[in-house]
Chains A and B, each alone.
Chain A
Amino acid sequence: MSDFNRRELLQMTAAGALAVGAGARPALAADYKPMFDVEKGASLQLLRWTGFIDQDDKQWKINTDAFTKATGVPVTIQEVSWTEIQAKSGLAAQIGSGPDVIMGFYDDPFIYPDKLVDVSDVCEYLEKKYGGFYDVAKSYGYDTENKRWIGLPMGGPGAAVTYRESWLKEAGFDSFPKDFDGLLKAARALKKINHPIGLALGHAVGDGNTWCHTLLWGFGGKQVDEDNKVAIDSKETREALKYAKALYETMIPGTASWLDVNNNQAFLAGQISMTINGISIWYTAKQKFPDMFPDIRTAPQPIGPVGHATNFNLFSQSFIFKYSKYPNAAKEYLRFMCEREQMDPWVTGMVGYVTPALKGYADLPIWTKAPEITPYRDVLKDNHPDGFAGTPGRAAATALNDFVIVNMFADACAHGSSPEDAAKSAAAKLKSIYGS
């Protein structure tokens, strides 16, 4: 068990805060050389999602204050629930007014690419300095058609297996299985000792999509092919659905209606032995459930027959609308926030909840501070974007918003459809979305 305790966490966060906000930062302000010619009298409005962990917001604000101190550009931050970002950014795009910078999710920039500022210069600078972006980050930010970056990839609140070590051992497993077969065996064994697993199969934007896509891709299935032609009704998809049905039978009853919050609650209530989630369960247990905390472990998601990880995670990127009066200030702000001096305390403060999109940040000390944090470091390595293997855009975003993949799995697992019927039904829905 790690010796990483709350005191250390607070010390690290406080150290980051001090370094950025109070003591060390004025030196940076004195030497500050902006990359962009910041407009005179500039002020910015940022719309972002409420942090999944409170230290996220706090550290982001500290970093933002440091930016204001260094550049004189005030930044107003608005936070809304992550599921409401799209509505607000859509409105801004529609009326041509609103926040200068938005931290959105998934394909958001590809819904209104023409309305966004080209951020290629910032992205290329950061790529060069920090070892490049993960592939999935590129697919969410780079407009291949026009060969320009329309969104600056920030990172992904990653998903990994969270489980109870003692129960897994009681079920006969020394460590968490690394492949789908092992996962099914462990799930069956855990059910036998009355500690079932639980994975969200309702319209859970994060947790439902995560494991369903991972299973689908792990068997080689895909929503559409490289030409955006619907390819869901395949042998691979049906195999994934058969496997999911078998896995579902080992779960605690009721998961078909679970949302993102439910698996957290069930785990912390001791009702389930394993789930797939962000680090929030571990973090919450650390703060509030000291009896359970020492027994909680995390592990990378198991690998399917394709032989490599097929992760799907939430992903956030920032974009600037063309209506902004201060595009240079906005670009400077994003660059500043992605520099190591800011990124390190931000990621450390939220205990690695968001895995940065830049590969260079895989060496941050927080990733090895506790073994339970380490799996989240690598979640973006083998991560496909939604709509894989097609291109991101309105159709992929619609399919994700409509939970087409999750619904297909729910149909096969909980609603009595055969794998064949569930795949056919999903194909019909996707054809209406993609028009092919």
Chain B
Amino acid sequence: MDRRAGWRLWLPLGLMLLFLLLPFYWMVLTSLKDRTELLNTPNPWWVFHPSINSFVDLLTQTQYPRWFLNTLYVSVGATALSIVVSYCAAFAIVRLKFKGARALSTAIFFSYVVPPAILFIPLAEVLVKLGWFNHLWALIPIYATFLVPFCTWLLIGFLRSIPRELEEAALVDGASWPRIMIKVILPLSVPGLISATIFSFTLSWNEYLYALIYMFSSDNKTITVGLTTELMRGDVFQWGQLMAGSLLGTLPVVLVYFFFVEYYVAGMSGALKD
């Protein structure tokens, strides 16, 4: 690679990295500053007296561990439910040739673009009728309402990239459709499923509006709601704890991406071929 080509590669990459990592750097800085340094520092881009007090206070003086577990429970549940439903839906649309399948796939995707701010009142009425208000587990099917459409669309794209000859061969061998779905297509769909899983998990983990509106008691708070209701008190913000909480809250998502990023890219490229 000559010098010019190197610049072309590294300059945009460097700018991109700066843009993406700056918020994390700021979160780390703020979470490690003591209260005096938070307000007054000769150089806001550095920590002169690092302290882990914000982390200790967050974990010992707030219900953060509980919020964390709540978020994990809901995110894992919503992701699992959405992936199962989406895979079944995507398989049916792509492989079972029925009339209106393409229109249905488009309609599913369009349902994803309806913003939650519009949906939350009608959805609330449904929840009241079902008696699901203020039940933490209720967030699992609620989150599925926005996860399933996108995951289905993503998996439709991925399943279309798998050759039909495989299932035709299985059919000739006498396999039933459920068997084909589970034994033949599912193993080949792993990259797409991982991609959809990462996407669902991230969205569930960061969700705020539904968790705020539909949950009532303090025991049911998720990280996003807990941080804003407990650490932002009117005009006094606990910046150190807020950033410590946000930082710890990003770790599961970072870990998931770290281990599965290659599958994620493969899954997304499969979807984009559609």
Contacts and interface: CB of A to CB of B under 8 A. Distances in A.
B218 A95 contact: no
Given A80-B229, A94-B121, A45 B235 contact: no
A284 B38 CA distance: 14
How many of chain B's residues touch chain A, expressed as a range?
A: 20 to 34
Contact of B216 (A45, A50, A87, A265): A45
A99 interface: yes
B178 to A, nearest CB: 40
B234 A265 contact: no
Interface residues of A, number: 42
B234 A206 contact: yes
A270 B39 CA distance: 9
Interface in A98-147: 98-99
Given A81-B229, A84-B212, A91 B120 contact: yes
A82 interface: yes
A225 interface: no
Contact of B213 (A53, A88, A264, A288): A88
Contacts of A277: 235
A305 interface: no
B212 A80 contact: yes
B39 to A, nearest CB: 4
B233 A50 contact: yes
Nearest to B117: A87
B229 A79 contact: yes
B35 interface: yes
A80 B212 CA distance: 8
B230 interface: yes
Contact of B235 (A78, A94, A207): A207
Contacts of A385: none
B interface SS class: helix
Interface string A152-170: 0000010000000000000
Given A99-B216, A268-B39, A284 B236 contact: yes
Interface in A65-97: 76-82, 84, 87-88, 91, 94-97
Contacts of B229: 50, 79-81
A76 B217 contact: yes
Contact of A280 (B128, B213, B218, B235): B235
Contact of A76 (B36, B212, B216, B228): B216
Nearest to B126: A95
Contacts of B213: 87-88, 91
A350 to B, nearest CB: 11
Contacts of B230: 50, 79
A200 to B, nearest CB: 9
Given A91-B213, A269-B39, A77 B236 contact: no
Given A265-B39, A270-B40, A52 B124 contact: no
A268 B40 CA distance: 9
Interface in A235-266: 260-261, 263-265
B218 A79 contact: yes
Q: Of residues B124, B228, B233, B234, which shows the largest number of chain A Cβ atoms within 10 Å of its Cβ? A: B234
A50 B128 contact: no
A259 to B, nearest CB: 8
A16 interface: no
Interface in B213-231: 213, 216-218, 225, 228-230
A280 to B, nearest CB: 5
Nearest to A323: B128
Given A91-B121, A95-B124, A95-B128, A157 B234 contact: yes
Contacts of B46: none
Given A91-B121, A97-B128, A269-B40, A51 B233 contact: yes
21 contacts: A47-B216, A50-B230, A51-B233, A51-B234, A52-B233, A52-B235, A76-B216, A79-B229, A80-B225, A81-B232, A88-B213, A91-B121, A91-B124, A91-B213, A157-B234, A207-B235, A261-B232, A261-B236, A264-B236, A268-B39, A278-B235
